[in-house]
């Protein structure tokens, strides 16, 4: 099934892999990045891979989101997001607002615009939204990021129920990946120190979290990307993609015994 896909947060990691695979399979792909510099490097990277995709600047915190009004798309991969770590008790207001603004408010404003476009054009479209397994578990010093992901998951599940009532032909798929070795988790862990007093108790938890993520992280990003692409190509998509499932089981067991 041929799809025309808009991907946010496509400069690297999961978003990049999904876009590259889709384009290599003949689909029309709009891959977006936050800055002009990132767009330039994305184009060069795709050229080296021999893959053709349309690269656009789309900063969720700007009027860039209006670009969707001029695109004919039948699939959205709403993947862009930011993260920060540290206790909400010590975090500055700007960092807290940025996470919620990007991950929830502006992300879902973009989703609404795409939904309105699909409905106006009578397109039986698909909307994929990236959350995270971390949204299911209360991990110390990750509360701001994980709560934003929990909100995303709850909103998408609600949209799935609403779409049944509205019968508009637009489907929603919630993507809840576990820990993948994209570098994103390490950046968040390193930022914790900005907001914490470096007490022995904190440093002990910090070192443990570093080790836990290194142990859990899957390096097979391409396998995850293929599963997402396969769902995009299906006429009827799954409601939830939770990958890898073993991480979800591990975290449930961990919090059952030690949480």
**What are the pLDDT digits (tens) for 157-166?**
999 999 999 8
Rounded alpha-carbon distances, angstroms, from residue 138 to 60, 87, 98, 146, 179: 27, 12, 20, 8, 15
Cis peptide before 244 (omega within 30 of 0): yes
pLDDT at residue number 64 = 95
Residue 36, domain member (yes or no): yes
Classify residue 167: in a domain, yes or no. Answer: yes
**Cβ proximity of 241 and 228 under 8 Å:** yes
Mean pLDDT by 10 residues, the chain (259 residues): 93 95 97 97 95 96 93 95 83 90 97 95 95 84 90 97 92 87 61 58 64 67 92 94 74 62
pLDDT at site 81: 93
Asked whether residue 74 is assigned to any structural domain, the reply reads yes
> Of 16, 30, 115, 145, which one is the catalytic site residue?
145
Cβ atoms within 10 Å, residue 184: 18
Q: pLDDT tens digits, residue range 84-124? A: 877 888 788 898 899 999 999 999 999 999 999 999 999 99
What is the per-residue pLDDT for 206?
A: 62
- Position 259 in a domain: no
Handedness of CA 221, 76, 248, 182 (dihedral sign): positive
- The beta-strand segments (E) located in 185-259 are 240-243
Quick one: pLDDT at residue 133? 86
CATH number at residue 205: 3.40.50.720
Domain count, the chain: 1
Known active-site residue 145: yes
Q: Is position 172 within any domain?
A: yes
The whole-number pLDDT of residue 221 equals 85
Domain that holds residue 118: 4-254
């Amino acid at each position: 099934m041929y799809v025309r896909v808009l991907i946010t947060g496509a400069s690297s990691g999961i978003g990049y892999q999904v876009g590259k695979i889709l384009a290599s399979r003949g689909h029309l792909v709009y891959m977006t990045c936050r800055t002009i510099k990132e767009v330039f490097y994305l184009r060069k990277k795709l050229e080296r891979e021999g893959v053709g995709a349309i690269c656009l600047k789309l900063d969720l915190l700007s009027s860039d989101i209006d670009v969707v009004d001029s695109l004919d798309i039948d699939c959205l991969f709403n993947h862009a997001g930011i993260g920060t770590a540290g206790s909400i008790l010590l975090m500055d207001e700007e960092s807290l607002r940025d996470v919620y603004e990007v991950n929830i408010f502006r992300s879902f404003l973009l989703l609404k615009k795409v939904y309105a476009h699909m409905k106006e054009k009578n397109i039986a479209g698909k909307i994929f939204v990236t959350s995270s397994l971390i949204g299911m578990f209360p991990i110390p010093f990750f509360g701001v990021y994980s709560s934003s992901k929990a909100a995303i998951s709850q909103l998408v599940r609600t949209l799935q129920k609403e779409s049944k009532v509205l019968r508009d032909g637009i489907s929603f798929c919630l993507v809840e990946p576990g820990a993948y070795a994209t570098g994103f988790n390490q950046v968040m862990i390193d930022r914790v120190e900005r907001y914490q007093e470096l007490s022995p108790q904190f440093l002990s938890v910090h070192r443990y979290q570093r080790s836990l993520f290194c142990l859990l992280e899957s390096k097979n990003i391409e396998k995850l990307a293929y599963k997402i692409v396969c769902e995009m190509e299906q006429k009827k998509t799954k409601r939830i993609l939770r990958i890898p499932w073993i991480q979800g089981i591990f975290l449930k067991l961990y919090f059952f015994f030690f949480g």
